[in-house]
Amino acid sequence: MKKLTCVVLGYGDRGERYSDYARVEKDELEIVGVIDPNPVRRESAKDKFSLREDMLFNSLEDFFKKGVKCDFVINATMDELHYATAMALLDKGYNILLEKPVTANPKELLDIKNKAEERGLKVVVCHVLRYTPFYSTIKNIIDSGKIGKVVSLQLNEHVWYGHFVNAYVRGKWNNEKACGSGLLLAKCCHDTDLICWLNNITEPVAVSSFGSKGFFTEENAPKGSAKRCHECTVENCMFNAKKFEIEKNFCPMYTWGKIQKPLEEITDQEKEEFLKTSSYGECVFKTDMDIVDRQCVSVNFKNGSIATLNLVGGTSAAGRHIHAVCEYGEIVGYVEQNKILLRVFDKENICFSEEEIDFSASVDLTKEDNSIGGHYGGDYYIMRDLIRFLNGEPTSSATTVISDSISGHMVVYCAEKSRKTATVVGVKDFENDFIS
């Protein structure tokens, strides 16, 4: 198998996770360059991958001027930059590993798909949950026919309060206009993708959704609270920025990213000063957050099967749960537990047998650097699959070329239209509006 070369566009948390595959599987991948406007991130990548100074780029334009050749580019830019950067990379002839969501705009999604097909290039979307042992096992069971076709899929995602506050209340994904994505697209296009992938013998035809911002609102702010935490006199607020961001240090890669220093070198005094002017120092009930903190989605499929998704932000613990009901059995599991319960109907004895499948031991991420073990191993396995895909070798059923990402994105778009208009939205009618 040929060792591939890669340039990273956007060396933030996701770009770093994917590129770390080159540190673990050194015979398969080499990082040859990085593109990021942040000098601290460029320097970090330079040290980690022993990059030459002339392979560190401040912008995509500088990268194009250099005429660098590589097998693919990891595009881990912010959501609102995906379209322009992906189209530019395709114009220049680069294969892409593109972070999800592809884009908040349906026409842009189809434009990228069409451009890749016209140029004969590969765009693989980072639906990393497909690649985990947990979900890939569920997919294999369903595809085997052992328990028949899908009747109903029930998925839940609970977003832990530390993550939710730092990403979606105070963080850079808290405003749909500013970041280009609502909560459902930014956080749960993983889950809508799973719904469509696990049931891909059919296709979604109609979507409905309800949701709102019900907790992180000014009405719920403690009496007498200030706009910024450092000016507030309210005692025992669990969201007080000094306690939440400095003492607990939840999600530091989000909170301190704009301070132009490596995380481990930032002092508490510098953090306190940063919180005085940053959104991370604002009262969680008084930010410019305009996204929902809870939403439910219902999907009707062409063959009559159904699916539901419940998303809740700010929960005590993170968790994804699935209950797949098929014609002759069921699959139940929490991904954090790395095991599922399989129930199979015994037609002869007219009863169900139960089997617990534990595949936690199959996740071998204890090598030189386990930072790519995120998303329950999905960050590692998507890179392994990608290397084989670009080498023309057999891959898993999870391989997500952009054409296979369309349905999951369309479910999100339709859900958001349904939520905002209080209507049931037909998927084909919605999609056809964006096909020229």
Kindly list the distances between the CA atom of residue 10 and the CA atoms of 97, 102, 240, 294, 386, in Å, as whole numbers in the listed order.
12, 15, 31, 29, 19
DSSP string of 155-168?
EEEEEEHHHHIIII
Of the candidates 390, 372, 419, 411, the one whose C-alpha atom is nearest the C-alpha of residue 194 is: 411
Kindly report which listed range (74-88, 271-285, 347-361) carries the lowest average pLDDT score. 347-361
Q: Which of 357-361, 367-371, 391-395 has the highest mean pLDDT?
A: 391-395
130-216+290-361+402-432 CATH fold: Dihydrodipicolinate Reductase; domain 2 (3.30.360)
Residue given tokens 């002839």 in the structure block: 93
Name residues whose C-beta falls within 8 Å of residue 82's C-beta, 6 or more positions apart in sequence: 75, 98, 99, 101, 102, 103
CATH class for domain 4-128?
alpha beta
Kindly list the distances between the CA atom of residue 234 and the CA atoms of 162, 226, 227, 231, 287, in Å, as whole numbers in the listed order.
20, 8, 11, 9, 17
Residue 8 and residue 74 in contact, taking contact as beta carbons nearer than 8 Å: yes
Of the candidates 193, 103, 164, 424, the one whose C-alpha atom is nearest the C-alpha of residue 291 is: 164
Give the pLDDT confidence score for residue 366 in this predicted structure.
44
Query: pLDDT tens digit string along 33-58?
Result: 999 999 999 999 999 999 999 999 99
Q: What are the strands of the beta sheet with 425-426, ordered from one edge? A: 351-358, 339-346, 329-334, 319-326, 150-160, 306-315, 294-301, 204-212, 425-426
Return the C-alpha torsion angle 95, 99, 104, 108, nearest 10.
Answer: 0
Strands (E), 36-129: 56-57, 72-75, 96-98, 123-125
Residue given tokens 């992906």 in the structure block: 86
Rounded to the nearest integer, the mean pLDDT of the chain is: 93
pLDDT at 389 over 80: yes
pLDDT at 8 over 90: yes
Residue 331 and residue 146 in contact, taking contact as beta carbons nearer than 8 Å: no
Residue 110's identity, in one-letter code, is L
d(CA 351, CA 158) in angstroms, rounded, equals: 33
Query: pLDDT tens digit string along 240-274?
Result: 999 999 999 999 989 998 898 888 999 999 999 99
pLDDT at 373 over 70: no
d(CA 168, CA 175) in angstroms, rounded, equals: 8
Confidence of residue 359 (pLDDT cuts 50, 70, 90): confident
Of the candidates 40, 56, 126, the one whose C-alpha atom is nearest the C-alpha of residue 399 is: 126
Residue 248 and residue 162 in contact, taking contact as beta carbons nearer than 8 Å: yes
Query: pLDDT tens digit string along 192-225?
Result: 999 999 999 999 999 999 999 999 999 999 999 9
Of the candidates 177, 215, 205, 204, the one whose C-alpha atom is nearest the C-alpha of residue 313 is: 215
Give the pLDDT confidence score for residue 367 in this predicted structure.
46
Q: Centre a 10 Å sphere on the Cβ of residue 430 and count the other Cβ atoms it contains.
A: 17
Whether the CA torsion 266, 379, 409, 315 is positive or negative: it is negative
Q: What is the pTM of this model?
A: 0.93
Q: Residue 348 is encoded by which pair of tokens?
A: 């002869």
Of the candidates 188, 135, 134, 128, the one whose C-alpha atom is nearest the C-alpha of residue 157 is: 188
d(CA 366, CA 60) in angstroms, rounded, equals: 34
Phi, psi values for residue 2, rounded to 5°: -70, 135
Of the candidates 93, 98, 41, 91, the one whose C-alpha atom is nearest the C-alpha of residue 74 is: 98
* Neighbouring-strand partners of residue 132: none
Kindly list the distances between the CA atom of residue 272 and the CA atoms of 228, 243, 312, 334, 411, in Å, as whole numbers in the listed order.
12, 11, 30, 38, 42
Give the three-state DSSP class for 326: strand
Name residues whose C-beta falls within 8 Å of residue 323's C-beta, 6 or more positions apart in sequence: 152, 153, 154, 330, 331, 332
Q: Domain ranges for the chain, please list them.
A: 4-128, 130-216+290-361+402-432, 219-281
Kindly list the distances between the CA atom of residue 287 and the CA atoms of 7, 168, 284, in Å, as whole numbers in the listed order.
36, 10, 6
Query: pLDDT tens digit string along 94-134?
Result: 999 999 999 999 999 999 999 999 999 999 999 999 999 99
